[in-house]
Structure 1
Amino acid sequence: MLDKALTFIASYLNQNLKMTFGLNEDVAVLGSLVNLDGSITKNIENKVILSIINLEHEKTVKNMGGYIPNQQGSFGKVDPPVYLNLYLLVSANYNSENYLESLKMLSAVIGLFQSSIIFTPKTHPELDPLIERLTFEIYNIPIQELSHIWSGIGAKYVPSMVYKIRMICFQKGIIKEEVSAVSGLGTNIKK
């Protein structure tokens, strides 16, 4: 589900950035700025990089087990869904000669997510129908924490923004048990 959400986001950004700036190639790419061995990732210069920096379990949603109907008129008990918030780092990774271009691209991304903060399959048919909704909000990070994030990534700071994307739902729908349907509410009271 995470891959489908991020692929949609990258595609949405590329479509809009290409149209806005008359570009021929994709600018927004999914990935990391640095490889696990510490080397710089290839083919990400002069691009907008989308990276997950954290996942958080959404605790405000009450996750109770649910029931889904089947063809026989009974119900199947399923485990409750898991809702996650995704923290997305949007980095304008442009070399120093293109610093103003990095600011232009980051500004465009901020503008796009400001004008469309909620994405649903109804408003954006290309979004996977299993993703109920994605809601974007800017996540402010204090400067010291931001420094820790960039140190953890192992990269030099580039203009960036962090978004909290609410809520990605994981629901396998595996039936744990069958439950008969209630067919009536009869009573036999004798006086």
Structure 2
Amino acid sequence: MIHKALEFLQDYLNKELKMTLALSEDSVVASSLVNPDGSVVESTQNKVVISIVNMEHETFVKSTQQYKSDGEHSYGKINPPIHLNLYLLITSNHSNYLEAYKRLSVVITKFQANPYFNKNEFSQMPDPIKKLTLEIFNIPITELSHIWSGIGAKYVPSIIYKMRMVTLEETKIKKEIPGVTGLGNTAKSS
């Protein structure tokens, strides 16, 4: 589900940047900025890059559904879904400094205009994602420095968004439990 959420945002931003800036090719990619060996990812040159810098388990939302009906007379025990908030680092990795901020500004205004995505308004949103919300996430400059050090890259124009919520759920039933089919009332009247 995480990859589907990233692909959705990548496609949405590619479409919006093409329309707004009259670009002929895709300019947004979901990727890390640096390969595991420390080299720069070539496909991120002159692109807006969406990277996940943190994932957080959303504990506010609790699922009370522990059983799933098979439609007949039995139920299956299931684990509750996991809800995640993703912290997205959106960078404008462009060789022209002003162009980098121009593209980053478009991204910010598009998310300002559409901070909430759902299936009703965005039919191309992939299943099983039902909704996503994005909000700018402010962090102190020292923490930002730690993020860039951890990535192993030099700072480029960027912003961090908190994306709520990606839900991960295994629908496989752990244990089947027979349902109640009737009451065997054998009480006798006197």
TM-score surpassing 0.5?
yes
Q: Which residue of 1 aligns with 2:88?
A: 88
Structure 1: distance between partners of 2:189 and 2:132 = 57
Q: Which residue of 2 aligns with 1:155?
A: 153
Structure-2 change in CA distance of 1:179 and 1:158 (3 Å): same
- Counterpart secondary structure, 1:168: strand
Instruction: Give CA-to-partner distance per residue, 1:96-116, whole Å, 9 cap, x none.
Output: xx1111111111101111111
My pick for the range that moved more, 62-71 or 26-35, is: 62-71
Cα deviation for residue 185 of structure 1 reads 7.0
Any residues of structure 2 matched to 1:1-191 within 5 Å, and which? 1-95=1-95, 98-183=96-181
Instruction: Give CA-to-partner distance per residue, 1:110-135, whole Å, 9 cap, x none.
Output: 11111111112222111112012111
- Counterpart secondary structure, 1:8: helix
Q: Which runs of 5+ in 1 are unaligned?
A: none
Q: Which runs of 4+ in 1 moved over 6 A?
A: none
Q: Which runs of 5+ in 2 are unaligned?
A: none
User: What is the aligned-residue RMSD (CA, Å)?
Assistant: 1.9
Instruction: Give CA-to-partner distance per residue, 1:147-185, whole Å, 9 cap, x none.
Output: 110111111111101011111111111112223334567
TM-score (structure 1 length as normaliser):
0.91
TM-score (structure 2 length as normaliser):
0.91
Q: Which amino acid aligns with 2:98?
A: L
Structure 2: distance between partners of 1:33 and 1:126 = 27
Structure-2 change in CA distance of 1:71 and 1:62 (3 Å): closer
Structure 2: distance between partners of 1:16 and 1:92 = 15
Structure 2: distance between partners of 1:128 and 1:66 = 25
Contact 1:121 1:129 in 2 (8 A): no
Q: Which amino acid aligns with 1:139?
A: F
Structure 2: distance between partners of 1:150 and 1:176 = 42
- Counterpart secondary structure, 1:51: strand
Structure 1: distance between partners of 2:188 and 2:17 = 72
- Counterpart secondary structure, 1:175: coil
- Counterpart secondary structure, 2:44: coil
Structure 1: distance between partners of 2:108 and 2:172 = 39
Instruction: State how many pairs are aligned.
Output: 189
